[in-house]
Structure 1
Amino acid sequence: MWLLERLAECGSARMSELAGWQSVDRSTITVQVKRLEGNGLIARDPDPADRRAVQVSLTRNGRSAMEDHARRMSDTMDRLISAWEPDDVADFSRLLARFAQALDENLENAAEEPRRDPDRHQRAGHGEPAAPDRSEQPDSRLA
Protein backbone atom coordinates (compact mmCIF):
# COMPACT_ATOMS: atom_id res chain seq x y z
CA MET A 1 0.00 0.00 0.00
CA TRP A 2 2.92 2.36 0.57
CA LEU A 3 3.54 2.65 -3.15
CA LEU A 4 -0.13 3.23 -3.92
CA GLU A 5 -0.26 5.94 -1.24
CA ARG A 6 2.79 7.66 -2.72
CA LEU A 7 1.26 7.64 -6.19
CA ALA A 8 -2.00 9.03 -4.81
CA GLU A 9 -0.01 11.90 -3.27
CA CYS A 10 2.05 12.79 -6.33
CA GLY A 11 -0.28 11.71 -9.15
CA SER A 12 2.38 9.91 -11.12
CA ALA A 13 6.10 9.36 -10.82
CA ARG A 14 9.04 8.00 -12.72
CA MET A 15 10.31 4.64 -11.55
CA SER A 16 13.70 6.24 -10.80
CA GLU A 17 11.98 8.84 -8.57
CA LEU A 18 10.22 6.09 -6.63
CA ALA A 19 13.51 4.23 -6.17
CA GLY A 20 15.17 7.40 -4.92
CA TRP A 21 12.28 8.11 -2.56
CA GLN A 22 12.72 4.66 -0.99
CA SER A 23 16.54 4.71 -1.25
CA VAL A 24 16.51 1.39 -3.09
CA ASP A 25 17.78 0.12 -6.40
CA ARG A 26 15.49 0.59 -9.38
CA SER A 27 15.22 -3.18 -9.76
CA THR A 28 13.49 -3.33 -6.37
CA ILE A 29 10.86 -0.82 -7.48
CA THR A 30 10.46 -2.64 -10.80
CA VAL A 31 9.49 -5.84 -8.98
CA GLN A 32 6.89 -3.98 -6.89
CA VAL A 33 5.51 -2.13 -9.90
CA LYS A 34 5.18 -5.32 -11.96
CA ARG A 35 3.25 -7.00 -9.14
CA LEU A 36 0.88 -4.06 -8.69
CA GLU A 37 0.49 -3.66 -12.44
CA GLY A 38 -0.35 -7.36 -12.76
CA ASN A 39 -3.09 -6.86 -10.17
CA GLY A 40 -4.50 -3.92 -12.14
CA LEU A 41 -3.68 -1.38 -9.42
CA ILE A 42 -1.19 0.79 -11.30
CA ALA A 43 -0.36 1.57 -14.91
CA ARG A 44 2.97 2.25 -16.59
CA ASP A 45 3.07 4.74 -19.44
CA PRO A 46 5.88 6.51 -21.33
CA ASP A 47 6.91 9.79 -19.72
CA PRO A 48 5.74 12.60 -22.06
CA ALA A 49 8.88 14.60 -21.20
CA ASP A 50 11.22 11.70 -21.99
CA ARG A 51 9.82 8.79 -23.98
CA ARG A 52 12.65 6.53 -22.73
CA ALA A 53 11.43 6.88 -19.14
CA VAL A 54 8.31 5.34 -17.61
CA GLN A 55 5.67 7.10 -15.51
CA VAL A 56 3.70 5.06 -12.99
CA SER A 57 0.21 6.07 -11.85
CA LEU A 58 -2.79 4.64 -10.02
CA THR A 59 -5.60 3.01 -11.92
CA ARG A 60 -9.22 3.35 -10.84
CA ASN A 61 -8.89 -0.08 -9.18
CA GLY A 62 -5.72 1.06 -7.41
CA ARG A 63 -7.43 4.13 -6.00
CA SER A 64 -10.39 2.01 -4.90
CA ALA A 65 -8.10 -0.56 -3.21
CA MET A 66 -6.26 2.22 -1.42
CA GLU A 67 -9.52 3.78 -0.20
CA ASP A 68 -10.75 0.38 1.03
CA HIS A 69 -7.47 -0.18 2.86
CA ALA A 70 -7.65 3.27 4.49
CA ARG A 71 -11.21 2.60 5.61
CA ARG A 72 -10.23 -0.76 7.14
CA MET A 73 -7.24 0.81 8.92
CA SER A 74 -9.42 3.60 10.30
CA ASP A 75 -12.02 1.09 11.54
CA THR A 76 -9.26 -0.95 13.21
CA MET A 77 -7.78 2.10 14.93
CA ASP A 78 -11.22 3.20 16.13
CA ARG A 79 -11.86 -0.27 17.56
CA LEU A 80 -8.44 -0.49 19.25
CA ILE A 81 -8.66 2.85 21.04
CA SER A 82 -12.40 2.83 21.77
CA ALA A 83 -11.84 2.06 25.48
CA TRP A 84 -9.09 4.66 25.94
CA GLU A 85 -9.58 7.87 27.90
CA PRO A 86 -9.98 10.97 25.70
CA ASP A 87 -6.71 12.46 27.00
CA ASP A 88 -4.85 9.26 26.08
CA VAL A 89 -6.33 9.35 22.58
CA ALA A 90 -5.27 12.99 22.20
CA ASP A 91 -1.72 12.23 23.41
CA PHE A 92 -1.45 9.24 21.10
CA SER A 93 -2.71 11.24 18.12
CA ARG A 94 -0.26 14.06 18.81
CA LEU A 95 2.72 11.72 19.23
CA LEU A 96 1.80 9.60 16.22
CA ALA A 97 1.54 12.72 14.04
CA ARG A 98 4.94 13.84 15.32
CA PHE A 99 6.44 10.44 14.54
CA ALA A 100 4.89 10.37 11.03
CA GLN A 101 6.31 13.83 10.29
CA ALA A 102 9.79 12.77 11.43
CA LEU A 103 9.55 9.64 9.30
CA ASP A 104 8.49 11.65 6.24
CA GLU A 105 11.37 14.08 6.75
CA ASN A 106 13.81 11.20 7.12
CA LEU A 107 12.60 9.63 3.87
CA GLU A 108 12.80 12.96 2.05
CA ASN A 109 16.36 13.53 3.30
CA ALA A 110 17.39 10.00 2.30
CA ALA A 111 15.97 10.50 -1.19
CA GLU A 112 17.91 13.75 -1.60
CA GLU A 113 21.27 12.28 -0.53
CA PRO A 114 23.49 11.14 -3.37
CA ARG A 115 23.93 7.40 -3.49
CA ARG A 116 27.50 7.19 -2.27
CA ASP A 117 27.61 3.41 -2.10
CA PRO A 118 26.10 1.67 -5.14
CA ASP A 119 26.63 -1.79 -3.57
CA ARG A 120 24.80 -0.92 -0.33
CA HIS A 121 21.65 -2.59 -1.66
CA GLN A 122 23.39 -5.94 -2.20
CA ARG A 123 25.19 -5.90 1.15
CA ALA A 124 21.88 -5.25 2.90
CA GLY A 125 20.72 -8.69 1.77
CA HIS A 126 18.97 -7.68 -1.45
CA GLY A 127 20.80 -9.76 -3.98
CA GLU A 128 24.24 -11.20 -4.39
CA PRO A 129 26.97 -9.67 -2.23
CA ALA A 130 29.26 -7.29 -4.01
CA ALA A 131 32.82 -8.37 -4.68
CA PRO A 132 35.27 -6.80 -2.25
CA ASP A 133 37.06 -3.69 -3.46
CA ARG A 134 40.70 -4.64 -3.84
CA SER A 135 41.79 -1.37 -5.47
CA GLU A 136 43.43 -0.09 -2.27
CA GLN A 137 44.86 -3.39 -1.07
CA PRO A 138 48.49 -4.17 -1.87
CA ASP A 139 49.11 -7.02 -4.27
CA SER A 140 50.41 -9.89 -2.13
CA ARG A 141 52.48 -11.18 -5.07
CA LEU A 142 54.64 -8.05 -4.82
CA ALA A 143 55.63 -8.62 -1.17
Structure 2
Amino acid sequence: MIQTAKVTRLLPDGRAEVSVKRQSACGHDCSKCGGGCSELMVSSTVAVTAANPVRAMPGDMVRVESDTGTVLGAAVAVYLVPFLLFFAGYFIAAALGAGSGICGTAGVLGFALGLCLAVLLDRRMRKRKAISFRITAINPAD
Protein backbone atom coordinates (compact mmCIF):
# COMPACT_ATOMS: atom_id res chain seq x y z
CA MET A 1 0.00 0.00 0.00
CA ILE A 2 1.43 3.40 -0.97
CA GLN A 3 0.29 6.62 0.70
CA THR A 4 1.39 10.22 0.98
CA ALA A 5 2.23 11.42 4.48
CA LYS A 6 3.82 14.32 6.34
CA VAL A 7 6.85 13.83 8.58
CA THR A 8 6.01 15.16 12.04
CA ARG A 9 9.23 14.34 13.91
CA LEU A 10 12.45 12.36 13.72
CA LEU A 11 13.01 9.34 15.95
CA PRO A 12 16.19 7.43 16.88
CA ASP A 13 17.60 4.63 14.73
CA GLY A 14 16.77 6.23 11.38
CA ARG A 15 13.00 6.30 11.91
CA ALA A 16 10.44 9.07 11.65
CA GLU A 17 6.90 9.64 12.84
CA VAL A 18 4.61 10.44 9.94
CA SER A 19 1.01 11.59 9.82
CA VAL A 20 -1.00 9.58 7.29
CA LYS A 21 -4.55 10.37 6.16
CA ARG A 22 -6.82 7.46 6.92
CA GLN A 23 -8.18 6.04 3.67
CA SER A 24 -11.91 5.58 3.12
CA ALA A 25 -13.38 2.79 1.03
CA CYS A 26 -14.10 5.15 -1.86
CA GLY A 27 -10.67 6.78 -1.86
CA HIS A 28 -12.07 10.09 -0.53
CA ASP A 29 -14.23 10.59 -3.63
CA CYS A 30 -17.54 10.30 -1.79
CA SER A 31 -19.52 11.20 -4.91
CA LYS A 32 -18.58 7.77 -6.32
CA CYS A 33 -20.08 5.92 -3.36
CA GLY A 34 -23.17 8.04 -2.85
CA GLY A 35 -21.78 10.38 -0.20
CA GLY A 36 -21.67 7.69 2.50
CA CYS A 37 -18.33 8.84 3.92
CA SER A 38 -18.43 10.98 7.00
CA GLU A 39 -16.45 14.21 7.14
CA LEU A 40 -14.69 12.85 10.22
CA MET A 41 -13.39 9.83 8.31
CA VAL A 42 -12.17 11.91 5.40
CA SER A 43 -10.21 14.31 7.59
CA SER A 44 -8.85 11.90 10.21
CA THR A 45 -5.15 11.12 10.32
CA VAL A 46 -3.09 8.48 12.05
CA ALA A 47 0.49 8.79 13.33
CA VAL A 48 2.76 5.85 12.47
CA THR A 49 6.46 5.14 12.79
CA ALA A 50 8.29 4.57 9.53
CA ALA A 51 11.81 3.64 8.51
CA ASN A 52 13.48 6.75 7.11
CA PRO A 53 16.25 5.66 4.72
CA VAL A 54 15.81 8.80 2.60
CA ARG A 55 16.45 11.08 5.60
CA ALA A 56 13.25 13.07 5.34
CA MET A 57 12.94 15.99 7.76
CA PRO A 58 9.96 17.25 9.79
CA GLY A 59 7.50 19.03 7.54
CA ASP A 60 8.46 17.06 4.41
CA MET A 61 5.70 15.41 2.39
CA VAL A 62 6.77 11.83 1.69
CA ARG A 63 5.65 8.62 0.04
CA VAL A 64 5.14 5.83 2.60
CA GLU A 65 4.86 2.16 1.68
CA SER A 66 3.55 -0.70 3.79
CA ASP A 67 3.04 -4.40 3.22
CA THR A 68 -0.38 -4.73 1.56
CA GLY A 69 -0.79 -8.39 2.50
CA THR A 70 -0.46 -7.70 6.22
CA VAL A 71 -2.91 -4.79 6.04
CA LEU A 72 -5.46 -6.87 4.13
CA GLY A 73 -5.04 -9.78 6.54
CA ALA A 74 -5.75 -7.48 9.47
CA ALA A 75 -8.81 -6.08 7.68
CA VAL A 76 -10.17 -9.60 7.14
CA ALA A 77 -9.70 -10.40 10.81
CA VAL A 78 -11.40 -7.21 11.96
CA TYR A 79 -14.32 -7.14 9.53
CA LEU A 80 -14.96 -10.66 8.24
CA VAL A 81 -14.26 -12.96 11.21
CA PRO A 82 -16.97 -11.49 13.52
CA PHE A 83 -19.60 -11.88 10.79
CA LEU A 84 -18.52 -15.43 9.99
CA LEU A 85 -18.71 -16.35 13.67
CA PHE A 86 -22.15 -14.73 13.90
CA PHE A 87 -23.47 -16.94 11.12
CA ALA A 88 -21.66 -20.00 12.48
CA GLY A 89 -23.21 -19.51 15.91
CA TYR A 90 -26.66 -18.96 14.43
CA PHE A 91 -26.58 -21.98 12.11
CA ILE A 92 -25.03 -24.33 14.67
CA ALA A 93 -27.78 -23.44 17.13
CA ALA A 94 -30.39 -23.92 14.38
CA ALA A 95 -28.89 -27.31 13.46
CA LEU A 96 -29.21 -28.38 17.09
CA GLY A 97 -32.92 -27.53 16.97
CA ALA A 98 -32.85 -24.34 19.03
CA GLY A 99 -35.59 -21.74 18.69
CA SER A 100 -35.10 -18.50 16.84
CA GLY A 101 -34.35 -16.55 20.05
CA ILE A 102 -31.59 -18.96 21.02
CA CYS A 103 -30.23 -18.93 17.47
CA GLY A 104 -30.06 -15.13 17.54
CA THR A 105 -28.32 -15.20 20.92
CA ALA A 106 -25.82 -17.76 19.65
CA GLY A 107 -25.17 -15.53 16.64
CA VAL A 108 -24.59 -12.48 18.84
CA LEU A 109 -22.24 -14.49 21.07
CA GLY A 110 -20.32 -15.62 17.96
CA PHE A 111 -20.08 -12.01 16.79
CA ALA A 112 -18.84 -10.90 20.23
CA LEU A 113 -16.23 -13.67 20.16
CA GLY A 114 -15.09 -12.43 16.74
CA LEU A 115 -14.73 -8.88 18.06
CA CYS A 116 -12.70 -10.15 21.03
CA LEU A 117 -10.44 -12.06 18.65
CA ALA A 118 -10.03 -8.94 16.50
CA VAL A 119 -9.04 -6.87 19.56
CA LEU A 120 -6.53 -9.52 20.65
CA LEU A 121 -5.07 -9.67 17.13
CA ASP A 122 -4.78 -5.87 17.04
CA ARG A 123 -2.92 -5.84 20.35
CA ARG A 124 -0.62 -8.60 19.19
CA MET A 125 0.13 -6.85 15.89
CA ARG A 126 0.84 -3.54 17.66
CA LYS A 127 3.14 -5.25 20.13
CA ARG A 128 5.05 -7.05 17.37
CA LYS A 129 4.85 -4.04 15.05
CA ALA A 130 3.63 -6.44 12.36
CA ILE A 131 2.67 -3.68 9.94
CA SER A 132 5.84 -1.86 8.97
CA PHE A 133 6.06 1.42 7.11
CA ARG A 134 8.95 2.76 5.04
CA ILE A 135 9.50 6.22 3.57
CA THR A 136 10.50 5.74 -0.07
CA ALA A 137 10.53 9.29 -1.47
CA ILE A 138 10.47 12.95 -0.41
CA ASN A 139 8.01 15.36 -2.05
CA PRO A 140 6.28 12.72 -4.19
CA ALA A 141 4.38 13.86 -7.25
CA ASP A 142 0.65 13.23 -6.83
Tell me the TM-score normalised to structure 2 length: 0.27
More strand as a share of residues? 2
Richer in helix (by share): 1
Looking at both structures, which has the greater relative contact order when contacts are Cα pairs under 8 Å and sequence separation is at least 6? 2
Rg comparison, structure with higher value: 1
